[in-house]
């Protein structure tokens, strides 16, 4: 009879738990609303229910509701049909009283079972409508001037500004806006987080702006990213500012609003750059009275140590697992070092981590798996070990102790005990090499291989050659420095090389059929050549004085005529109709020939 009673009780518990897990009844509403503002309070249910009962609503007036909507969907996955449905009950409320109000859970009946929703808190604040009223009559330029750092700004929020070394800081990167419609953002530059190890909090940012009460005013905030920061050294660490450009939508002013104006996009988007303020974090060192077993773990942890068997045969494997779970800098926890018996062969531990990053920090577990192989028979003990961490809440060190394990190892197959090696036990073998060693006592003479290097020709050359090379390098370097000091001479020497580089760029433009770029490069090659060759600034050069300079240098008249003709052709071709590729080819070759002839004729 008792067994039947417990069986029925267990079935009832399982069915109730399954029902509770299957049915979801959720209340949603804004977190902050303005006094006199209308908003929606919605209850969503994934199964059909009846008899919805609202909690007592104080400080709000129910204007409409409940308005019921149903959504049903059917899917075929791998030949199997699955269907789901959702029911939403919506109320429209009016905020009439300033303050914070908590909506108690609503109740509804599903298949004869009473289901409760979650509770929800709404804050009602007094909000000024001055800016909103002005915005409807202002031009877009006036609206843009009204966008200041008071109604649109960025901020890096941290949950604490003073932490212990290794204690995480949760940072939220957010946009704050009031009476400004931000439709997008771009060119996001995240802080560098120097001095911190970082871990992103997955799924923390929402896809919509949320209302917040900032000094009695409603600001709409968007969380770009949330991240955990683990300080790597003590002292003051600064979180650099973040930067981004907000795309703000302004209402364009119309001369006369018609019936169809609302159906068209009468808006203008402007880009507003913003930059947050740097944030200072004070990192305190952990107390200096740390036990020897402390290895940098900070947080709240538990330790569990197990072995899969305590009675084995020689060469059979034993697995020992050390699992550390809790909340803290889990990724920085190192494997524990056990004092295993000398007769055990132990491999490096394998690490398995199951970690989750949330607003509360990094939680989960880290497991170290040790593979142990006994090589000799006997009774052995794996001594207890300590794991010490610093609890920042309690501000003290806490030590967890693993149990002591007794291991019995039997002889291997064939009755071989393997307990001795050449009449020495393994414990004795450990001391071989630490005891007295005998030196070699027989008489021997060293044998020299080859001739003695000291005093030979190669010996003296090894000193003389490096000194000679150093002197040659010194003289060459002094000569090069003296030549580089004569700027005019250097420019003269490299004039032809610079011109050829310009002509190479012109050749690329010629192959790409870029007319303007081709003629520009030809002109630059000629002007730069004359400037470098005669040490004249470009601003003092003109076609007239170039002709005079070349005549003065006794350049052949034919070369001067060709040079001036190329200048005229390039200047004319930049504004003339497109030339053919053959004409550009011939001009390119003519320029090379002319510069080559000039280089030979200039004295």
CATH value at residue 375: 2.60.40
> Is the CB of residue 498 less than 8 Å from the CB of residue 542?
no
**pLDDT tens for each residue of 260-298:** 555 555 778 888 898 899 999 999 999 998 899 898 899
* Average pLDDT estimate for 3-17: 46
42 vs 24: CA distance, rounded Å: 13
Residue 126 pLDDT class (50, 70, 90 cuts): confident
**190 and 260 part of one domain:** yes
Which of 107, 90, 112 has the alpha carbon at shortest distance from 52?
Answer: 107
209 vs 220: CA distance, rounded Å: 6
323 vs 402: CA distance, rounded Å: 11
**pLDDT tens for each residue of 210-248:** 888 887 788 888 888 889 999 989 899 999 999 998 888
> How far does Cα 273 stand from its chain's mean position?
21
Which of 238, 241, 233, 305 has the alpha carbon at shortest distance from 276?
Answer: 241
Tell me the CATH number at 544: 1.20.120
- Cα–Cα distances in angstroms (integers) from residue 230 to residues 81, 210, 258, 283, 428, in the given order: 47, 28, 58, 10, 48
**149 and 110 part of one domain:** no
Identify the residue with better confidence: 434 or 367: 367
Would residue 557 count as lying in a domain? yes
In this structure, what DSSP letter does residue 171 have? E
Q: Which of 227, 262, 284 is the last residue of a domain?
A: 284
**80 and 173 part of one domain:** no
**203 and 242 part of one domain:** yes
The domain in which residue 232 lies consists of 130-284
**Quick count: other Cβ atoms within 10 Å of Cβ 6?**
10
Would residue 595 count as lying in a domain? yes
**246 and 378 part of one domain:** no
Residue 70 in tokens: 């149903």
Would residue 113 count as lying in a domain? yes
Residue 369 pLDDT class (50, 70, 90 cuts): very high
User: Is residue 521 scored above 70 in pLDDT?
Assistant: yes
SS3 for 128-161, per residue? CCHHHHHHCCCCHHHHHHCCCCCCEEEEEEECCC
Residue 11 sits at φ, ψ, to 5 deg, of: -65, -40
* Average pLDDT estimate for 122-144: 61
Would residue 388 count as lying in a domain? yes
User: Is residue 102 scored above 50 in pLDDT?
Assistant: yes
User: Is residue 151 scored above 50 in pLDDT?
Assistant: yes
Would residue 434 count as lying in a domain? no
**136 and 258 part of one domain:** yes
Tell me the CATH number at 76: 2.60.40.10
Would residue 446 count as lying in a domain? no
* pLDDT on residue 138: 61
Identify the residue with better confidence: 388 or 567: 388
Q: Which of 99, 125, 151 is the last residue of a domain?
A: 125
368 vs 525: CA distance, rounded Å: 70
pTM, 2 dp: 0.54
**139 and 273 part of one domain:** yes
* pLDDT on residue 403: 92
**118 and 233 part of one domain:** no
- The answer for residues whose C-beta is within 8 angstroms of residue 129's C-beta and 6 or more apart is none
Q: Residue for token digits 């020992």?
A: 320
Identify the residue with better confidence: 566 or 81: 566
Would residue 437 count as lying in a domain? no
Average model confidence (pLDDT) for the chain? Answer: 78
Q: Cis before residue 66, ω within 30 degrees of 0? A: yes
**193 and 240 part of one domain:** yes
Stated as kind and residue range, the H or E segment containing 468 is helix 457-485
> Is the CB of residue 85 less than 8 Å from the CB of residue 45?
no
**pLDDT tens for each residue of 465-516:** 888 898 888 888 777 776 655 555 555 666 667 777 777 777 787 787 787 8
**109 and 43 part of one domain:** yes
**410 and 423 part of one domain:** yes
Identify the residue with better confidence: 190 or 415: 190
Which of 257, 275, 274 has the alpha carbon at shortest distance from 266?
Answer: 257
Would residue 12 count as lying in a domain? no
**136 and 273 part of one domain:** yes
Identify the residue with better confidence: 441 or 518: 518
Domain count, the chain: 4
């Amino acid at each position: 009879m008792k067994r039947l009673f417990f069986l029925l009780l267990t079935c009832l518990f399982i069915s109730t738990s399954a029902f509770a897990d299957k049915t979801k009844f959720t209340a949603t509403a804004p977190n902050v609303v303005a006094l006199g503002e209308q908003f929606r309070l919605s209850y969503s249910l994934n199964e059909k229910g009846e008899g919805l009962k609202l909690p007592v609503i104080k400080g709000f007036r129910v204007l409409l509701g409940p308005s019921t909507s149903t959504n049903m969907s059917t899917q075929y996955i791998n030949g199997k049909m699955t269907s789901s449905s959702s029911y939403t009950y919506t109320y429209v409320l009016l905020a009439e009283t300033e303050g914070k109000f908590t909506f108690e859970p609503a109740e509804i009946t599903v298949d004869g079972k009473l289901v409760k929703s979650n509770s929800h808190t709404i804050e009602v604040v007094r909000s000024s409508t001055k800016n909103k009223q002005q915005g409807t009559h202002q031009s877009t330029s006036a609206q843009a001037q009204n966008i200041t750092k008071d109604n649109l700004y960025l901020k890096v929020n941290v949950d604490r500004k003073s932490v212990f070394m290794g204690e995480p800081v949760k940072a939220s990167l957010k946009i704050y806006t009031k009476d400004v419609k931000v439709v997008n953002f771009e060119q996001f530059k995240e802080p560098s987080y120097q001095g911190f190890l970082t871990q992103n909090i997955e799924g923390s940012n929402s896809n919509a702006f949320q209302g917040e009460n900032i000094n009695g005013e409603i600001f709409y905030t968007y969380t770009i990213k949330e991240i955990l920061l683990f300080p790597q050294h003590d002292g003051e660490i600064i979180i650099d500012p973040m930067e981004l450009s907000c795309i703000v939508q302004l209402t364009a002013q119309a001369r006369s609003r018609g019936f169809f104006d609302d159906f068209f996009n009468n808006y203008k988007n402007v880009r507003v750059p913003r930059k947050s303020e740097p944030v200072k974090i004070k990192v305190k060192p952990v107390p200096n009275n740390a036990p020897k077993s402390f290895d940098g773990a900070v947080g709240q942890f538990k330790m569990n140590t197990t072995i899969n068997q305590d009675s084995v045969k020689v060469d059979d494997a034993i697995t020992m697992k050390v699992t550390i779970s809790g909340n803290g800098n889990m990724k920085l926890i190192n494997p524990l070092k056990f004092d295993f018996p000398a007769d055990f062969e132990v491999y490096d531990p394998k690490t398995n981590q199951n970690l989750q990053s949330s607003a509360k920090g990094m939680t989960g577990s880290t497991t170290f798996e040790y593979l142990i192989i006994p090589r000799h028979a006997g009774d052995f003990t794996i001594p207890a070990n300590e794991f010490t961490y610093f609890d920042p809440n309690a501000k003290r060190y806490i030590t967890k102790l693993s149990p002591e394990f007794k291991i019995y190892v039997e002889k291997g197959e064939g009755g071989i005990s393997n307990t001795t090696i050449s009449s020495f036990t393994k414990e004795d073998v450990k001391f071989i090499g630490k005891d007295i060693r005998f030196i070699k006592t027989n008489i021997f003479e060293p044998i020299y291989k080859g001739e003695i290097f000291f005093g030979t020709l190669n010996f003296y050359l090894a000193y003389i050659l490096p000194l000679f090379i150093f002197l040659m390098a010194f003289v060459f370097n002094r000569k090069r420095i003296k030549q580089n000091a004569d700027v005019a001479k250097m420019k003269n020497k490299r004039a032809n090389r610079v011109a050829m580089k310009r002509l190479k760029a012109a050749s690329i433009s010629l192959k790409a059929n870029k007319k303007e770029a081709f003629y520009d490069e030809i002109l630059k090659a000629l002007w730069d050549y004359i400037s470098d060759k005669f040490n004249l600034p470009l601003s003092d050069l003109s076609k007239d004085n170039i002709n005079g300079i070349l005549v003065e240098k006794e350049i052949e008249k034919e070369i001067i005529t060709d040079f001036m003709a190329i200048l005229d052709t390039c200047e004319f071709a930049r504004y003339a109709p497109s030339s053919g590729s053959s004409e550009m080819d011939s001009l390119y070759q003519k320029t090379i020939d002319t510069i080559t002839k000039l280089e030979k004729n200039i004295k």
